[in-house]
Amino acid sequence: MNWFETITMHSPALIVAVPLLAGFLTPLVSRINDTVRNLFVLIMLSITGILIAILGYDVLTNGIRTYVFGGGNTVITLPSGLMFHVRIIFEVDSMNIFMVIITIILAIIGIVYSLSFMKKEDGLDKYYTIVLILVTSTLGMELTGDLFNFFVFLEISCITSCALIAFWVHKGEALEAALKYIVISSIAALFFLFALGLLYAQYNALNMATIANAIQFSIIDQAALILIIAALTMKAGLVPMHMWLPDSYGEAPPSITFILIAATQAGLYGAFRVIFTLYGNVFNSINLAYVNLVITANTIGWVLVALAIITIIIGVFMALIQTDFKRLIGFTAVAEIGYIFLGIGVRLASKYVQYSGSSATAIAFSEYSSIALNGSIFHIINDCLDIGLLFLVAGAIYYATKETSLDKMGGLARNMKYTTVFFIIGLLAVSGMPPFNGFASKLMLYESTYQLNPIITIIAVLASILLLAVFVKVFYSAFMGPEQQKFKEVKEVPKGMLIAMGAVVVIIIIFGLFPNLVINNIVQPAADALTNYTTYISKVIPGVI
Amino acid sequence: MIFNIPFIAVVAMIFIGLYAVLFKRNLVKIVIGISIIESGVNLFLITLGYREGGVVPIFTSAPSDVASNAPGSMVLPVPQALTLTSIVIGVAVLALMLSLIMHIYRHYGTLDVRKMRRLKE
Amino acid sequence: MFSFESILETLKTGSGFWDPLIWVIIAALAFLLIYVLRSFGKKEFKEKTEQTQSFLSGNPEYEKEQMRIKGSNVYWGFIETMKWAFNILRKIHTGNASDYVLWLIIVMGFLFIVVFITGAL
Amino acid sequence: MSEMSKIVRTLSNITFPFIMVFGLYVIAHGHLTPGGGFQGGAVAASGCVMLIVAYGSTWIFEKIKVSRLSAFESLGALGFIGVAFFGLIFGGYFFNNFLVRTGILFNIIPETGFTGSEFNTAGVLPLMNFAVGVKVIAGVFAIVVVMAYASSLKEWKQ
């Protein structure tokens, strides 16, 4: 076994372990020097990125890879013949790789941004420690194959993001947002734990693949599904559980918000994994034995579509009346989450039974369902980049002018030329204007939704237009208009922040001009990994089915 | 029936905690409510692992014939491990929430959750 | 693994397609056309004459500082017309932490009802 | 927080060593009996907290620096992860229990049944328990010290 294979083999564990180790080393390293600490954090995250690239190459070429902590076998066979799945297991398929790539891109860019943005703040060693642990927990949520491990990482992510939201302790609003966030998310996490107990009571296992293999969709499983879905959609920010999201996005330091987006998407990933893999028998199966579950799957799909539409509408409308820059972007982030859930809902609602005469012959998905799923997954990465870029621009404006209220801004385009260009690109991308990346994914969502129900598509398109209107308002009031007396001395932000924003813009343009490069290489394998839940089960616990 | 009492207690504790979170004004009482929910969930996990007549899952105090009639004679250790982890996380969340409340009191001068509404709309 | 040939592929969306490169070319052609048309225009425009001043029904032009429209005043008409909807939305967003939890419970209950009714079928 | 009465102080002086010893016992026997790093650490830290309660909170800021406590906390966490990394290096898997049934010290195969508290049967688990114990003692103590500091600040303001 050469060294490359060894690294590939251990990379799932190392991806989580390296940022964790770095996080706890940071307080010690920062006793030396600030520059050394900054370099250290950046290098450690780059190492994680390299590991992720290696692992991604391997997984996309060779398929699912698992890692068992503590070594040895996962299965213990008792003398009585019972098989138990012990040990914590990490499993990596294309969907995990997709999420992990998003997380590490956002984390590295966020760190580069905060190197210049947070330069003058105090307590930076704790800041970088908590950021690294937040990245660890997000990566852990996205890599784990064990439900309880997922819960632990969920709680760590909850605690660390709360601490980071309240980083500007001198602002009362930041504390308020942090408290609201931790109250609701700890309650949701407790419900998640309760659901996990229900599943454990039924199947004596916490391994996702084992449970997915055995799931019956009895009444207890239904209760567990509801609790988990409610908890995870809360974490993702679905209306009407979205209210913490603009609060915390608006009040956290913008560099943190950028990384918080990745943590939010990890909750979304959990919802994906639970719906499509854990309850794959219900939502993904085309087996005639589960014909009675088609109606259930369709109903949940329609409920999700309805919630997604409400999410889009409320997000856009609330963004229209905001006067605080970051809070406004927070509400548009809610709307973007709605588009992602629209794709999931369309996929779930498109299941039907084929009849010949009076007897059912097959269960099938409509053709547009796969496009909806692809669009939904593609929209995750577009949402992260676009909304993230806008938050970075908001942070740049805050850095230059110390203002977040739109009423007090104006004429900033004269002094901040690069920032203005970046904002225009973010504006066009987030509202789905061609040729940027938001358009490709939204087009896929529109076309698939249109075949389910045209009215929903019309609402979604109108909301997208309103989204453009919202950002035109921001653009007009912040960047255009006559020069303000108090902003005469405003300068362009430092190079580090410009580099971070520029990197996001470059990714956005590449994704926009070559959407098929992304869809064929990352998105399509991720969608395949989600839909083929039997492959997941047979790879993670071989020999069971 | 007698074995259902812990489950009834679990449901009761979760609902008492939710009542405190939803209808109490004081932030500290809300935090207490969250703690009660957490205790309820922990009790649920512990109850899952209980086995009537089983012994403690500790190596040293196991009876000598434990190997012959395993796994029936020991209480399930996994839910206890889950509960311990959950308690540890609970302590961290509790400490964080209480320290946030201390800071909030300094900024707002009140612990009333209905007056803590600078961020709305 | 990574196939870079797919750079130039067209994205098929079921009933349609999307190729940004074609779009960029057409957009560039359109801009070219606009430029050509513009170059046919009259060349009588002179700077710093009466031609550059805006016509406000004969009233004098305001100072530059006063010409600014605040962020909250943009789309005033739309917001005024849709006031009923925005009032409802404002009422929903109370900013109270207990209400946030209440919404979570409401969604949970709603899903319970929906799934139990259809799951029992 | 102000100082409490002499009876309380004397009693806390007497009970403090016992609480610490019990906490350390729970940490050390974490792999054999109920408890472990967190539980023992919490017990030991509560002993330290008792001193703060009994003697008031002002003296503690001169004696103990929070930065030092958080350094200890990082060290505990580092020890835990370090042991996990050693498992990767020596045992071939992350978190591998590479010490169990090896060498002279750990070459005891644990039996089912009453083994009379063989202390060295669990390989790296006691090491991890110690690391967690250090982290929890430092962490909980630091939380309480910071809270005491904050509350005393408010008293000064009034």
pLDDT confidence band for D158 (50 / 70 / 90):
very low
C-alpha to C-alpha distance for D108 and D118, rounded to whole angstroms: 9
pLDDT at position A394 over 80: yes
Compare CB distances from D78 to A25, A70, A72 and report the shortest one's residue.
A25
List C-alpha distances in Å: A275 to A456, D8, D121. Answer: 22, 57, 43
Q: pLDDT digit string (tens) for B86-121?
A: 998 998 899 899 989 988 888 888 888 888 888 877
- Look at residue B70 and tell me if it is in a domain: no
C-alpha to C-alpha distance for A344 and A341, rounded to whole angstroms: 5
In contact, A30 and A126? CB cutoff 8 Å: no
For residue B58, the model assigns a pLDDT of: 63
Mean pLDDT value across residues A442-467: 91
| Closest listed residue to residue D38, CA positions, set B85, B97, A153 | B85
Of A303-307, C2-6, C85-89, the least confident: C2-6
Cβ burial, residue A514 (10 Å; 0-12/13-18/19+)? buried
| Closest listed residue to residue A115, CA positions, set A64, A43, A180 | A43
Q: What residue of B is the nearest CA neighbor of A181?
A: B97
pLDDT at position B60 over 70: no
C-alpha to C-alpha distance for A146 and A205, rounded to whole angstroms: 9
Q: How far is A111 from chain C (nearest CA, A)?
A: 28
Are A20 and D97 an interchain contact pair (Cβ–Cβ within 8 Å)?
A: no
pLDDT at position A80 over 70: no
Query: Which 39-58 residues of chain A touch chain C by CB within 8 A?
Result: 57
- Look at residue B111 and tell me if it is in a domain: yes
User: Could you list the residue range(s) of the whole structural domain that residue B82 is in?
Assistant: 2-51+75-118
Mean pLDDT value across residues A63-90: 73
Rounded to the nearest integer, the mean pLDDT of chain A is 88
pLDDT at position B39 over 90: yes
For residue D1, the model assigns a pLDDT of: 66
> How large a percentage of chain B has pLDDT more than 70?
85
**Greater pLDDT, A525 or D119:** A525
Q: Does B71 touch chain D (CB under 8 A)?
A: no
| Closest listed residue to residue A267, CA positions, set A231, A239, A300 | A231
Burial A154-178 (b: 16+ CB within 10 A, else e): bbbbbbbbbbbbbbbeeebbbbbbb
C-alpha to C-alpha distance for D49 and D57, rounded to whole angstroms: 10
**Greater pLDDT, B66 or A398:** A398
Query: pTM of the full predicted structure?
Result: 0.93
For residue B21, the model assigns a pLDDT of: 92
Structure-token pair, residue B87: 């308690």
pLDDT at position A110 over 60: yes
> How large a percentage of chain A has pLDDT more than 90?
43
- The H or E element that residue C45 is part of is none
Q: pLDDT digit string (tens) for A400-411?
A: 888 888 888 888
Are B84 and D32 an interchain contact pair (Cβ–Cβ within 8 Å)?
A: no
In contact, B61 and D114? CB cutoff 8 Å: yes
Q: Does B39 touch chain A (CB under 8 A)?
A: no
User: Which one of D140, D143, D154 would you mutate to disrupt binding with B, by most B Cβ within 10 Å of its Cβ?
Assistant: D143
In contact, D133 and D27? CB cutoff 8 Å: yes
> How large a percentage of chain B has pLDDT more than 90?
33
pLDDT confidence band for D91 (50 / 70 / 90):
confident
Domain ranges of chain D: 6-157
- Look at residue B8 and tell me if it is in a domain: yes
pLDDT at position A235 over 80: yes
List the CATH number of the domain containing B101: 1.10.287.3510
Which residues of chain A neighbour C79 with C-beta distances below 8 Å?
320-321
pLDDT at position B69 over 60: no
- CA quadruple B104, B107, B110, B116: dihedral positive or negative? negative
- Look at residue B24 and tell me if it is in a domain: yes
Query: Which 66-95 residues of chain C touch chain B by CB within 8 A?
Result: 89-90, 93-95
Are D143 and B99 an interchain contact pair (Cβ–Cβ within 8 Å)?
A: yes
Structure-token pair, residue A425: 């690109």
For residue B51, the model assigns a pLDDT of: 75
C-alpha to C-alpha distance for A91 and A79, rounded to whole angstroms: 28
Mean pLDDT value across residues B79-86: 88
pLDDT at position D115 over 60: no
Mean pLDDT value across residues A449-465: 91
Q: pLDDT digit string (tens) for A318-355?
A: 998 888 889 999 999 999 999 999 999 999 888 888 88
Of A176-185, A271-280, A532-541, the least confident: A532-541
Domain count within chain B: 1
Burial A325-358 (b: 16+ CB within 10 A, else e): bbbbbbbbbbbbbbbbbbbbbbbbbbbeeeeeee
| Closest listed residue to residue A351, CA positions, set A298, A406, A424, A303 | A298
For residue A76, the model assigns a pLDDT of: 66
> How large a percentage of chain C has pLDDT more than 90?
24
Mean pLDDT value across residues C21-29: 91
Which residues of chain A neighbour C84 with C-beta distances below 8 Å?
none
Mean pLDDT value across residues A18-46: 90
Burial A435-471 (b: 16+ CB within 10 A, else e): bbbbbbbbbbbbbbbbbbeeebbebbeebbebbbbbb
For residue A310, the model assigns a pLDDT of: 92
- Look at residue B114 and tell me if it is in a domain: yes
pLDDT at position A544 over 80: no
For residue C61, the model assigns a pLDDT of: 73
User: Which one of A187, A514, A518, A519 would you mutate to disrupt binding with C, by most C Cβ within 10 Å of its Cβ?
Assistant: A514
For residue C121, the model assigns a pLDDT of: 56
Which residues of chain A neighbour C1 with C-beta distances below 8 Å?
57, 60-61
In contact, B106 and B32? CB cutoff 8 Å: no
pLDDT at position B68 over 60: no
C-alpha to C-alpha distance for B7 and B3, rounded to whole angstroms: 8
C-alpha to C-alpha distance for A328 and A472, rounded to whole angstroms: 12
For residue C19, the model assigns a pLDDT of: 84
Query: Cα A211 to the chain's mean position, in Å?
Result: 24
State the CB neighbour count (10 A cutoff) for residue B37.
24
| Closest listed residue to residue A183, CA positions, set B116, D148, B110 | B116
Are D95 and A67 an interchain contact pair (Cβ–Cβ within 8 Å)?
A: no
Of A301-305, A442-446, A534-538, the least confident: A534-538
Q: How far is B72 from chain C (nearest CA, A)?
A: 34
Query: Cα D80 to the chain's mean position, in Å?
Result: 13
Bridge partners (DSSP) of residue A362 are A354
The full 3-state SS of A16-75, as one line of letters, equals HHHHHHHHHHHHHHCCCCHHHHHHHHHHHHHHHHHHHHHHHHHHHHHCCEEEECCCCCCE
- Look at residue B65 and tell me if it is in a domain: no
Structure-token pair, residue D127: 């090491």
| Closest listed residue to residue A445, CA positions, set C116, C11, D140 | C11
Q: For the CA atoms of C84, C90, C91, C95, what is the dihedral angle to 10 degrees?
A: 180
Rounded to the nearest integer, the mean pLDDT of chain D is 81
- Look at residue B81 and tell me if it is in a domain: yes
Query: Cα A396 to the chain's mean position, in Å?
Result: 23
Cβ burial, residue A9 (10 Å; 0-12/13-18/19+)? middle
State the CB neighbour count (10 A cutoff) for residue D98.
20
Q: Does the ipTM exceed 0.85?
A: yes
Of A226-230, A498-502, A541-545, B39-43, the least confident: A541-545
C-alpha to C-alpha distance for A265 and A233, rounded to whole angstroms: 10
Q: pLDDT digit string (tens) for A148-206?
A: 999 999 999 999 999 999 998 888 889 999 999 999 999 999 999 999 999 998 888 88
